[in-house]
Amino acid sequence: MIRKTFILAAAAATVAFAGAAEARDQIRIVGSSTVFPFSTAVAETFGKTTSFKTPVVESTGSGGGMKLFCAGIGENHPDITNASRRIKKSEFETCTKNGIGITEVKVGFDGIVLANSKAAPQLSLTKGQIFLALAKKVPMNGKLVDNPYKNWSDIDASLPKTKIEVLGPPPTSGTRDAFVELAMEAGCKEVKGAKELGLAKKACHEIREDGAFIEAGENDNLIVQKLEANPAAVGIFGFSFLDQNADKIQGAKVNGVEPEFELIASGKYGVSRSLYFYVKQQHVGVIPGIKEYVTEFTAEKAWGPDGYLVEKGLIPLPDADRAKIAASSRNLAPLSM
């Protein structure tokens, strides 16, 4: 009975939305700052080459985008959300509770880089050193203590004698989620004595709050500008922003591997993740152009090895994966978890 009531309520919301379709004739996209430049490029091409209006794309962060996307059905809610990590089970459940059906589109790969100004020496860091620089608590003399490291050289004498000052994404960011898992948690495993003192998995994700790490918001372009202005600072963001600003900034080696296109694609660069966007099925056919936008994004001219998104820094999926995902996404296959 409860399930029947839920289905009827969701259907009623969709019908009511369909009746108000003329109130918005432009696709609205929110979400990840990392996927933002790719989504914007597709939106601009879509607006120029079709009869549909150019979609509005907002950079709200992956978590913020999911919150907006899963809030409900209707013209006041976004049609698509970008994400630099996969949708969480809790977010999927919120969407489902609110009557929202989802199509998931995996679009490619991206590396998370630590970059600094070209006016400073290039950093070469291990994941263990990254953890020691940014963790809230670290092992020292057999105890777990508040992070005492002030300069990079305090961690290792081979590192620069400069203050640890890292500009990074907020907790709502998918880049932050991926960074703490791929760099912090992995680095935690490299630090002697960490596991014995209870530092494992999510306990390794806590970032220091004493000023060494500065939450710089969802605007990665702003971080790049700050790195130019302060050669001593380090920024954390997606590879695409490094690629687009290679004349100004340089990426740190991580465990001896450069953050380069081929090395991210091959999996040799160890701080990389998949990128996604999610489509609200109830808006398809009501808000004009959603299906066509999906087709544009998943076209070889866009996300293929020679596509215009590669020029923006997207690392393409393998050929077989692109073909499979293009077919399922264009058919708006529903996601289940």
Fold of the CATH domain 2-109+275-330 = D-Maltodextrin-Binding Protein; domain 2 (3.40.190)
Architecture of domain 111-272 in this structure:
3-Layer(aba) Sandwich (3.40)
Report yes or no on whether pTM surpasses 0.85: no
Q: Measuring CA to CA, how many Å separate 243 from each of 104, 125, 221, 323?
A: 26, 20, 12, 26
Radius of gyration for the chain, computed over Cα atoms and rounded to the nearest angstrom: 21
DSSP string, 276-311: EEEEEGGGBTTBTTHHHHHHHHTSHHHHSTTSTTGG
Residues in the chain: 337
Same fold, 2-109+275-330 and 111-272: yes
Q: Give the confidence band of 3 by pLDDT, cuts at 50, 70, 90.
A: very low
Q: Please check whether residue 126 is in contact with residue 271, taking contact to mean a CB–CB distance below 8 angstroms.
A: no
Q: What pLDDT, in 10s, does the model give residues 109-139? A: 999 999 999 999 999 999 999 999 999 999 9
Continuous H helices in the chain: 2-19, 36-49, 62-69, 89-97, 127-134, 152-155, 174-179, 186-190, 220-229, 239-244, 261-265, 290-297, 300-303, 319-330
Strand bridging mode 253-254 / 56-57: unpaired
Domain boundaries, the chain: 2-109+275-330, 111-272
pLDDT of residue 15: 47
The pLDDT, as a whole number, for residue 217 is: 78
* CA dihedral (91, 95, 101, 107) positive or negative: negative
